[in-house]
């Protein structure tokens, strides 16, 4: 008899959102306070460094936990999870190419103004958006710190199901024949 196997699929791409190493700021602040007290002639007083240890470690741990919940990314063959929102890969019809003018605010691609996946208002700081065309004429932005790696893993998953995108006359890539203007008629 074999033990029960975990049926959760292995992630193809994963970002934790934040590192627990940041919590070491608490002990570092406590050690710094101890050294300041000792160098200023007060001796080894433990109350203030202990307060720094508890407060800084607690606050930073809370921030790290929140970042690990709200800015983590996980891609499996069936799902893409961005923070607390999960969508099926089957809902993704197209992965838009990188914008040609990434730094220019004048020429923004249509998908760059779409809502970001996850419960956050926009693409989290330090991450880069990836345009996705979804079912039911929806557009959204996936995001990641290592966005090129996420795009490289996600694009073949979509293309093996939908088929490779055909370039149109304007040089952009479109999977279906509808226009991407957002109008339904």
For 128-184, give the DSSP string: EEEEEEETTTEEEEEEETTHHHHHHHHHHHHHHHH-PPEE-TTS-EESSSS-SSS--
pLDDT at residue 62, as a whole number: 97
> Which tokens is 121 given?
């208002």
- Indicate whether 4 pLDDT > 90: no
Q: Where are the beta strands (DSSP E) in 10-127?
A: 13-15, 73-75, 79-82, 85-88, 92-95, 115-116
Using a cut of 0.75, tell me whether the model's pTM lies above it.
Answer: no
Q: Which whole number is the average pLDDT over 139-166?
A: 87
Q: What is the pLDDT of residues 30-64, one digit of tens each?
A: 999 999 988 988 888 889 899 989 999 999 999 99
Higher pLDDT, 184 or 16: 16
Percent of the chain exceeding pLDDT 70 equals 81
Neighbours of 149 (CB within 10 A): 14
pLDDT tens for each residue of 72-93:
999 999 999 999 999 999 999 9
Residue 98: the pLDDT is 86
Q: In this predicted structure, what is the pLDDT of residue 8?
A: 76
**pLDDT at residue 11 in the model:** 87
């Amino acid at each position: 008899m074999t033990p029960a196997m975990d049926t959760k699929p292995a992630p193809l791409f994963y970002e934790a959102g934040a590192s627990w190493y940041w919590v070491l700021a608490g002990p570092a602040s406590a050690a710094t306070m101890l050294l300041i007290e000792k160098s200023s002639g007060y001796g080894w007083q433990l109350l203030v460094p202990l307060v720094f240890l508890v407060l800084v470690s607690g606050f930073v741990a809370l921030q790290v936990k929140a970042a690990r919940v709200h800015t983590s990314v996980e891609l499996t063959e069936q799902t893409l999870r961005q923070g607390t929102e999960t969508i099926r890969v089957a809902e993704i019809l197209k992965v838009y190419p990188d914008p040609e003018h990434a730094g220019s605010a004048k020429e923004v691609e249509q998908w760059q103004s779409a809502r970001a996946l996850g419960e956050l208002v926009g693409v989290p700081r330090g991450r880069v958006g990836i345009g996705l065309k979804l079912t039911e004429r929806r557009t959204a932005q996936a995001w990641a710190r290592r966005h090129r790696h996420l795009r490289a893993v996600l694009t073949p998953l979509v293309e093996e199901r939908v088929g490779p995108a055909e370039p149109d006359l304007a040089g952009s890539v479109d999977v279906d024949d509808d226009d991407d203007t957002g109008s339904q008629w």
